[in-house]
Amino acid sequence: MSFPTDLHIARGATLKPLDEVAAGMGISDHLLEPYGTSVAKVKLSAISELADRPRAKYVVVTAITPTPLGEGKTTTTVGLGQAFRHIGKRATVAVRQPSMGPTFGIKGGAAGGGYSQVVPMETLNLHLTGDMHAVTAAHNLLAAMIDNHIHQGDALDIDQHSVSWRRVLDVNDRALRNIVAGLGSRAEGVPRQTGFDITAASEVMAVLALSTSLQDMRERMGRIVIGASSDDKPITAEDLEAAGAMTVIMREAIKPNLLQTLESTPVLVHAGPFGNIAHGNSSVVADLIGIRGGDYLVTEAGFGADMGAERFFNIKCRASGLAPDAAVLVATVRALKAHSGRFTVVAGRPLPEDMLAENPDDVHAGGANLRKQIENVRLHGVSPVVAINAFPSDHPSEHDAIRAIAEKMGARVAVCTHFAEGGKGAVELAEAVAEASEEPSQFELLYPDDATLRDKIEAVATRVYGAAGVEYDLKASRQLDSYERNGYGKLPVCIAKTHLSISSDPSLKGAPTGWQLPVREARASVGAGFIYPICGDMRTMPGLSSSPAAERIDIDADGEITGLS
């Protein structure tokens, strides 16, 4: 008998009344704003009302450098959250909201998988409570006000070539990457080359994720820089008198969404910043609520530990003031075999047959990546726990190989079968995380606020990525100098690079050394609160594949969705 689909499993779930789920976190009914029967917004006043409750242990789930297929971080995050109940502990899970572009593209849904899912699965993957649309509307309002200001006489003397604020949509559509706006008669506006990004890549999304309150979000909106004047002075959303209206659009979106897992563990789903050019973590306000909601708060950071976890530590924790107690590193046999350099993994295609054959030597050959990612967690003073996400095609000897690599680095290890067994399949992991989180916290940021932007970039490049140094294009050097002059030098950095390698070259596997990080451009997300150096070709508007998931998604005569994965 074949394993049931994620959608079939999700539909078979018996959901606990959401007020009961909330009550388990200490959240009373007056703090909930129901959206139907299975989703609710949580009012921000919960942060202050829960302040006297004990602080939960704070656990971040990250991974080794993934293959294009992903290695199951969300599934592991959900499975771990469920597993704590099996050892007599209460946990809250906090994750990002999925973008519908990838849902209808090659990725499919992002609610976890198997018996470790967030439910209702369809609601989570399709619109949820409309936060993505609020981000889209707020972002595009600013874009409209920029072009209208230019059309109406341009009192701010905007250098049109400097305008970096594009438009956004929550779709995968390569045809919109580069466009010319304002064509037609004079009444249609001023012609200008621009383009669209996916909503998850919007700075408004990053602002949502890093704000600590409604007023903080209002102030961050005002600091958004959209370009410069002809005399090279930054022009902000406040200058354009757009920030207030943008915040009004976002007034409901800043409230986290409460859902539950298949085993009724509470889940806060909020914000979804792009993992390549933004910090790739769920919201600060969700964590400020969840940190008082039980014994453990389990959250997830995008991509590998060199990216999502590094940004979690140095950007998100810097903004929230919270310090993590442990980090889970998800590892898979297939990913470590891929890091041996002997196999090629392509999204949407079956794994090579040779890769499925039992061969622990291939796992050991890719072990350098796991060792470096363990080291990257430890650089920040956090205790690592390696979660071996087991697949049916794995062999026990290959799990033993991963365990040997991790234990030699002094990390705790657990084999997990949460996809097939739910929370009980991650009990070993929950016990290991509980042990790790009891160690005295020695969390530290990688660099201080007052380090120069170049020092910050070089700290991440050399200490986290293993680069020998950094090479700056002339354009990037001028931009960094300009940001320092304009008072943005104290911001952290969010390096935009490939997620398929610790290096900036996606073809380099394992843990390469001796290479130079090429910084070709630097951009400022002043509202969000970071500078992002660009080190490669970053696609901020994905395209659809030759066989997108949208072709398989439909609705039947009873109104039931089909084909969602």
Q: Tens of pLDDT along 33-48?
A: 999 999 999 999 999 9
Domain with CATH 3.40.50.300 in the chain: 6-129+253-437
Q: Which of 297, 253, 258 is nearest to 28 (CA)?
A: 258
Report pLDDT for 81.
98
Percentage of residues of the chain with pLDDT beyond 70: 99
Question: What distance in Å separates the CA atoms of residue 298 and residue 499, rounded to the nearest whole number?
Answer: 22
Task: Read off the tokens for 257.
Answer: 């969404």
Report pLDDT for 8.
87
Q: What is the overall mean pLDDT for the chain?
A: 94
Judge whether 243 and 221 are in contact, CB under 8 Å: yes
**pLDDT at position 417 over 80:** yes
131-249 topology per CATH: Domain 2, N(10)-formyltetrahydrofolate synthetase (3.30.1510)
Report pLDDT for 107.
61
Helices 73-86 and 427-437: crossing angle in degrees, nearest 10, is: 80
Task: List pLDDT tens digits, range 334-381.
Answer: 999 999 999 888 877 888 989 999 999 999 999 999 999 999 999 999
**pLDDT at position 60 over 80:** yes
Question: What distance in Å separates the CA atoms of residue 341 and residue 43, rounded to the nearest whole number?
Answer: 49
Question: What distance in Å separates the CA atoms of residue 294 and residue 56, rounded to the nearest whole number?
Answer: 6
Domain with CATH 3.30.1510.10 in the chain: 131-249
Amino acid 202 reads S
Q: What is the 8-class DSSP label of residue 92?
A: E
Judge whether 238 and 249 are in contact, CB under 8 Å: no
Question: What distance in Å separates the CA atoms of residue 341 and residue 353, rounded to the nearest whole number?
Answer: 15
Task: List pLDDT tens digits, range 423-452.
Answer: 999 999 999 999 999 998 899 999 999 999
Residue 19: how many CB atoms within 10 A of its CB?
Answer: 15
Architecture of the 6-129+253-437 domain: 3-Layer(aba) Sandwich (3.40)
Report pLDDT for 547.
84
CA angle 332, 540, 201 (to 5 degrees): 85
Residue 398 phi, psi (nearest 5): -75, -35
User: Which residues fall within 8 angstroms of residue 93, CB to CB, at 6 or more apart?
Assistant: 77, 78, 81, 118, 261, 265, 266, 267, 268, 290, 297, 298, 299
Q: Parallel, antiparallel, or unpaired for β 196-198 and 167-169?
A: parallel
What is the rounded average pLDDT of the residues 67-95?
A: 96
**pLDDT at position 306 over 70:** yes
136-165 as b/e: b if 16+ CB within 10 A:
bbbbbbbbebbbebbeeeeebebbbeebeb
Q: Which of 451, 333, 319 is nearest to 386 (CA)?
A: 333
Residue with tokens 């509307």: 137
Domain 453-534 classified CATH 2.60.120.10?
Answer: no
Helices 203-210 and 131-151: crossing angle in degrees, nearest 10, is: 130
Strands (E) in 36-166, as ranges, are 39-42, 57-63, 91-95, 112-113, 116-119
Strands (E) in 459-564, as ranges, are 469-472, 516-519, 521-525, 530-534, 554-555, 561-562
Using a cut of 0.85, tell me whether the model's pTM lies above it.
yes
Question: What distance in Å separates the CA atoms of residue 383 and residue 439, rounded to the nearest whole number?
Answer: 8
Judge whether 376 and 464 are in contact, CB under 8 Å: yes
Judge whether 271 and 466 are in contact, CB under 8 Å: no
Task: Read off the tokens for 112.
Answer: 């976890």
What is the rounded average pLDDT of the residues 102-115?
A: 79
